[in-house]
Each structure stands twice: as structure tokens, then as C-alpha cells.
Amino acid sequence: MKEWLKAPCQITSERTGDIVGLHTLSLETPGEIIRLEHEAKDRTLFAEGALWAAKFIHHNHLKPGLHAFQKVVESHLSL
């Protein structure tokens, strides 16, 4: 996110209890706050994303190794 903004920003992360996945992106200026929120209902969503990425890597013959999920998605979008 910091790379995309090309500006100083505060990024925080908190894990609480049994919350599966609650992600909030807040953009704050002196005059307003804009929020975008995503909540996962169960962990199946994350498993489906991991399987999709593994199949994409295999079918597109990407080199074996560690791949950042963002780079895999960007590769998919550039096809």
C-alpha cells in the first residue's frame, strides 16, 4: 500500500479472537475519512484463493519457488 500511495502512511494490523478476516482500508485527509471494508465469513475463501494461485502457477509454467500472491494476480491480469 505504501508503494502504491508513494507517500508516508500508517499501516496497522490486529488479530482478535475468532475473527476470520476483517479488513478495513481507511483514507483520511484533514476534511474527510473514506473507508472500504471487507469481512470474510469463513476461512474457505482464503483456501480457495490459495488453490486458485497454485493452479495458475502450475498451468502457466511459472518457475518453482515462493511467489507473492499479488504478483500471481498481476500475472493473471496481464494475460
Summarised one tens digit per residue, pLDDT across range 22-65 is 888 888 888 999 999 988 888 898 899 889 888 888 888 888 78
Host domain of residue 54: 2-77
**pLDDT for the residue numbered 43:** 87
E strands, 1-79, in order = 21-29, 32-40
Domain count, the chain: 1
Distance of CA 50 to the CA centre of its chain: 12
CA-nearest of 52, 57, 19 to 38 is 19
11-43 burial, b for 16+ CB within 10 Å, e for fewer?
A: eeeeeeeeeeeeeeeeeeeeeeeeeeeeeeeee
The length of the chain, given as a count of residues: 79
